[in-house]
Amino acid sequence: MSLSCLYQFNEVAHLCPVKYDYMKQKTTRIVYWITTGLLALFILPGIFFLNSKMALDGSQYLGIPLWLHWELGIGKFIGGLILILPMIPGRIKEWAYVAFGIDVISATIGHLAVDGAVIGSFEPLVFFAILLASYICYHKLWPDRVPVIPGRMA
């Protein structure tokens, strides 16, 4: 059997050739790095603006205490590094994705509570969509990076 053609059974239970789709994996890899790169562009520079008047005023407007403002800023920077560095273990990347998901959902709830249901309150969900695309592509490219606990369903 050549590398260009793998065989599998289809729904009608007869043997048929199915070409291995290299372009699909290449596309997934491109989407992964574009979405993860966009996440890094959103997240990593934020550490340099934590002490800016705009950032401090925004946190105060949403009712976020100063200590949480600093904790979130530093945590986002560390999480952004975790997402883009390939040598970080999969389990840690999983927790970084979870933390960013919680952060974005909390940001949406915070904006809805303060501003009401205006279009700007839903802007964090754009970040969430990019985060979700990166997460899905990560698992398609490296399904074995996060170990499965024995005895549990994958």
DSSP 64-94: --HHHHHHHHHHHHHHHHHHH-TTS-HHHHH
Beta bridge partners of 19: 5
Note down the domain range covering 71: 23-141
| pLDDT tens across the length of the chain (154 residues) | 444 444 443 344 344 444 446 667 888 889 999 999 999 998 998 888 888 888 888 888 888 888 888 898 899 999 999 999 988 888 899 999 999 999 899 888 888 888 778 777 788 899 999 999 999 988 888 777 766 666 655 5
Q: How many domains does the chain have?
A: 1
The amino acid sitting at 84 is I
**Residue 83 carries which side chain, given as an amino acid letter?**
L
Considering the domain boundaries, does residue 17 fall inside one?
Answer: no
What is the rounded distance in angstroms from the CA atom of residue 53 to the CA atom of residue 64?
Answer: 14
Is residue 118 assigned to a domain?
yes
β-bridge mates for residue 7, sequence order: 17
Q: Do the domain assignments include residue 153?
A: no
Q: Is 70 within the bounds of a domain? A: yes
